[in-house]
Structure 1
Amino acid sequence: MSLASYPAVTVTAVAMSQERDDLRGIARVQWADPHGGLEDSSIEDVIRWLEHSSGIAYVGNPDGTRGPRIRVAGVGLQRYIRSNPDDETADALLTLPRLDRVVLPDRTSRARRAARQPGWRWSPGRRARPAM
């Protein structure tokens, strides 16, 4: 199932990127559906679901109860989630158990640079080569 299948979920754990350890570093979340099943989603999918599907997400408390509501914050490409609008350092999301860290893709790889140059074509698993 996916987030789109549920009107509300509870976030039970977070995976941080290797670069950050604050709210903006949350790269994936594990969430429980209303029936108790666990799934995980990228932060991009969670933000899209919250903004465009009228979904509601809550932070899960250690005792299994529902904690504060999660909202989208930030602008443009710097979007992230949070549950405490007044104090990011005390946000309940940062108290959740941590999943394995997420390695973000290298945005400066040679293949990507070559793919952006006119006349070059790139395909996954291959080296960049001149377009024919």
Structure 2
Amino acid sequence: MIYEHDVIFVAIHMGNVMESTPDYAAATTITGLPNGNVDRVALRVDPLNWEAEVLNQLNNTPTADISVTTIFNPGTRNLSMTVTADFFTALSGDYRLGAVVVEDAVTGTSSGYDQYNAYSGGTVEMGGWENLPDPVPARQMV
């Protein structure tokens, strides 16, 4: 991934067995798919414009340098997280940090794992999604 040290992509599932109601509620600015947010500044960005918005945000000086350390116990599935913010300037106001825990490689075989595909049959190249059906059957999802 080009921006692997600067960007974290998070997919929020809606309308399938992988939907997490608290996650969806936290993403209230996402009102339709496909679209996304970049840095909680550029809201409702079409995927075709994501890279331009990411580059725009990467050119801005952040308010703080954020670091995260985690300890995960696979036996208990407990996660401990420490988040540290080193601010570049004094701030006043109401600032908040958000944390998202993601899980990769979640798969299933039932139709509940089928994935909505807004790009199906489209003329815009989207990493091959334009060549897949809508919905994409669970057996084709990785």
**TM bucket, shorter chain:** under 0.3
Structure having the higher strand fraction is: 1
Structure having the higher helix fraction is: 1
Select the structure with the greater relative contact order (CA < 8 A; seq sep ≥ 6).
1
TM-score (norm 2): 0.24
